[in-house]
Structure 1
Amino acid sequence: MVATVAPLTAPVEPDEALRRIAFLLERERAGTYRVEAFRKAVLTVRETPEDELHTRHEAGTLQDLPGIGKSTAAVVAEALDGELPAYLETLQGKAKPLAKGGTELLSRLKGDCHSHSNWSDGGSPIDEMVLTAVELGHEWLVLTDHSPQLRVANGLTAERLTKQLAIVDAINSSLGEEFRLLKGIEVDILDDGALDQTDTMLGQLDLVTASVHSKLRMNRAPMTKRMVAAVSNPRVNVLGHCTGRLVEGNRGTRPQSDFDARAVFEACAEHDTAVEINSRPERRDPPDDLIELAMEVGCLFAIDSDAHAPGQLEMKAYGCERAEVLGIDPDRIVTTWDVDRLLEWTAARA
């Protein structure tokens, strides 16, 4: 079950106070520089012996530590004094459910097929994404960093992906049975519909989300052919943010790509490829009319966060709100499935 994390109360460890502040800032889509200040402070606090933190607090020299500024020093000091830091208390007091509806569906979600770490263009290491997913009540999470062609997002070569898969194995070995980190990728759909990673590497993954990131203004016929080829590929499990549109945000807006949606969704239904409901507020992709078309055609769906930071994992609330209004049967949403059912589905596609 995916849910909002419970507020922290005093006493609280300094690093946990800083972590929660970063999470809440990410959740409300605060500026990256503000979030990074708290994420960097977490690392500094964890690398500094506890007795040194107390000594520096008493001497007023916490800000002499690397990555500790006025705001983060105040949080550390208040936590060391056994108090709930004022800034954390303020943020927790402001935190409200992200969406007004969809709460019942959100409670049924068990995982997320689309998330990023700092191995590509995410803001946090893999273990921080996993820890936050566990705190939110996820049972599983698919790590889907970008593929090589998306260089602006530091996409993973086959060699880097191989190293990442070993880390995923190590994380799972330490987690026990309560949570599963799944091996995945957000693979670029190339101009001809081929996938931007070797078939050998794709065969080692638990789940593949495929998305168009380039030439979004391609003419209708070749774009349709491109997308149909990708979703028909037995390595592909989820079609990510299918229209590529942007409806708000600091990147501006972007119109949706032009393609024959019925043809693409019919191919998805034929090949058991899920259509992603991308929950990011700047995407809200696909639009409602295309979701309704995918429902009519008989597609599966994946309500995903496309999280690039831990605090964004909760954004699935927005997708749940839309899905509930549109009346999607929860059993057609693969992110409501337990991990065994999910893996049976992906294995059947390979």
Structure 2
Amino acid sequence: MTPLAALEEIAFLLERERASRYRSKAFRAAAAAITGLTDEQLRDTASLRRRKGIGDSTFAVIQQALDGQVPAYLVQLREAAGVEAPTAGAGLRAKLRGDLHSHSEWSDGLTPIDSMVEAARVLGHEYVALTDHSPRLRVANGLSVERLQEQREVVAGINASSPAGFTLLTGIEVDILEDGGLDQTPEMLDALDVVVASAHSKLRMERAPMTRRLVAAASSPHVDVLGHVTGRLVEGSRGTRPQSTFDARAVFESCAAHGVAVEINSRPERQDPPDELIALALELGCLFSIDSDAHAPGQLSLIDHGAARAVKLGVPPERIVTTWPLDRLRAWTARPRDAGGSEGF
């Protein structure tokens, strides 16, 4: 194992486990600091210790890798993550071709776009949608029309230089406003490949207005995926948060009528929607999208969790849009919105 590979895998596993962002960023900084160094330069310990981005922990990892060992810290993280253990959703996971919900440092993600793209390729994805936040989420550095247009141009450049077999899709996680409107211009939403709509504020609205809010979003001619629909948090460093109260049958009937996929959000702290709501959406004929909601490269692998939940609840692979090849996915996102429905996709 090379020192660079060890540092990158440690960062990946720290991101997957949603550890402190400072820890994962420290290992990514160290990886960047040694990229391109020769073996001789890596073995010059005095010079290496003076190099910006190299601290005690990362230096120890580099030395252990140079000595032919799998670094102890990496062994510990692998064991904690159970990376060798098969999951309940392994069969479905193998059928997943992509991910429609991810973030970069353009909003509240931790890394540049190209780091997310490289991780997606390593995971075997055929496509990933870049869905940074919309303008109203200032705390998440949401993208204005101008910044989103700039990002679209960056994505075009990445796709032009990408090897065959992988596509980075333009997208947004657009905030659902209190009245059910969307926090971006219709013209920009029309120009994107994928639109995920999620509520991030006023999650404790009364049942009736919250129902109207979500039904309006699911009925929008611009929306493809309804993201983390209940907004709940069940574990993690942010604490817990109860799910929003709304008429789930009305919301999912609207999703089914308009061909909008209900997101199975794979983040363990969300587990959203709850099991009983996934079962209801399944009964009502909804499509689903198993997404990572990744904010760092290692978190793209969280779709393992979403796949396991989908298998447990009996969601058929053909109803999961992220199992579809890119041409079928594009046909779905380009569907005639006035007709509604999802037949033929």
Which residue does 2:342 correspond to in 1? none
Describe the SS at the equivalent of 2:99: coil
Which residue does 2:254 correspond to in 1? 267
Q: 2:192 aligns with which of 197, 200, 205?
A: 205
Write the mapping of 1:1-350 to structure 2, written as runs, cut at 5 A. 10=1, 12=2, 14-46=3-35, 50=37, 54-55=40-41, 57-80=43-66, 83-97=69-83, 100-349=87-336
TM score, norm. by length of structure 1:
0.91
CA distance in 1, matches of 2:308, 2:86: 7
Structure 1 unaligned regions, length at least 5: 1-9
Q: Deviations 1:113-154 (Å, cap 9, x if unpaired)?
A: 111111111111111111011101111101100000111111
Describe the SS at the equivalent of 2:135: coil
- Give the number of aligned pairs: 336
| C-alpha RMSD over aligned residues | 1.8
Runs of 4+ in 1 over 6 A off after TM superposition: none
Whether the aligned pair in 2 keeps the contact of 1:17 and 1:85 (CA below 8 Å) is yes
Task: Pick closer, same or farther for the CA change 1:64–1:193 going to 2, 3 Å.
Answer: same
Q: Which amino acid aligns with 1:23?
A: F
Task: Pick closer, same or farther for the CA change 1:349–1:62 going to 2, 3 Å.
Answer: farther
Whether the aligned pair in 2 keeps the contact of 1:208 and 1:236 (CA below 8 Å) is yes
Which residue does 1:4 correspond to in 2? none
Task: Pick closer, same or farther for the CA change 1:100–1:176 going to 2, 3 Å.
Answer: closer
Whether the aligned pair in 2 keeps the contact of 1:303 and 1:320 (CA below 8 Å) is yes
CA distance in 2, matches of 1:64, 1:263: 61
CA distance in 2, matches of 1:39, 1:101: 31
Whether the aligned pair in 1 keeps the contact of 2:34 and 2:42 (CA below 8 Å) is no
Q: Return the offset for 1:84.
A: 4.1
TM score, norm. by length of structure 2:
0.93
Q: Deviations 1:155-197 (Å, cap 9, x if unpaired)?
A: 1111111111111111111113211110110000011111101
Task: Pick closer, same or farther for the CA change 1:349–1:317 going to 2, 3 Å.
Answer: farther
CA distance in 1, matches of 2:60, 2:213: 53
Q: Which amino acid aligns with 1:115?
A: S
Q: Return the offset for 1:40.
A: 1.4
Describe the SS at the equivalent of 1:294: helix
Which residue does 2:340 correspond to in 1? none
| Percent identity of paired positions between Structure 1 and Structure 2 | 60
